[in-house]
Amino acid sequence: MDSSIELADLLVNELAKQIKLKYKDDVTCTNLVYLKLQNFGMKPGFAFAIQMVSTSLIESNLDNVVAYVGQVMGNEILGAPAEFSNDGDKFIKFQYNKELPSMFRRLGPITKQGMPPEQEFWLQVYGHFILGIYQGALLHFGYRTVGKFDFGDDSIQFSIKPEKLVGTWSSPPSVLLK
């Protein structure tokens, strides 16, 4: 395995543990962990897009940006390109059905029913972090997003609703960890 991926796994694991510890008395602790990791993922996603993008893509349309993010970034970050679709309701879906990224395969079989709570927690942790990476990349291209992570039997899906930003904009304060 690539040592940079192992380091990223360790960082995400440690951050999730620290956030869980910080909010252990909060009834929404688990959801806070997912949200914080999703927000945390936006920063590396934004930075990663800067390193890999060509200037012609920035002026491109949403379909080209989505293809780039799903294929190139999905392959570079997760080691497997995402299948992507636009469902007509303005939601873009990045899906992994045939080939799950190793980050998720290591967690064991992914099932919608009957997964142990600890396994589902870590699946959600990694899923929300990667969702944040996709959102950060789209933010780099000028799209504010609302996103959702979901999983089924041996499949994972990131649903993102992009909205073109107009004028001067900056990252929302919620992206920053407190």
Query: Where in the chain are the domains?
Result: 3-165
Q: Are 108 and 101 in contact (CB under 8 A)?
A: no
Q: Are 149 and 103 in contact (CB under 8 A)?
A: no
Average pLDDT over residues 21-40: 88
| Domain spanning 3-165, CATH architecture | 2-Layer Sandwich (3.30)
139 or 90, greater pLDDT: 139
Q: How confident is the model at residue 178 (pLDDT cuts 50, 70, 90)?
A: very low
Q: pTM, whole model, 2 decimals?
A: 0.82
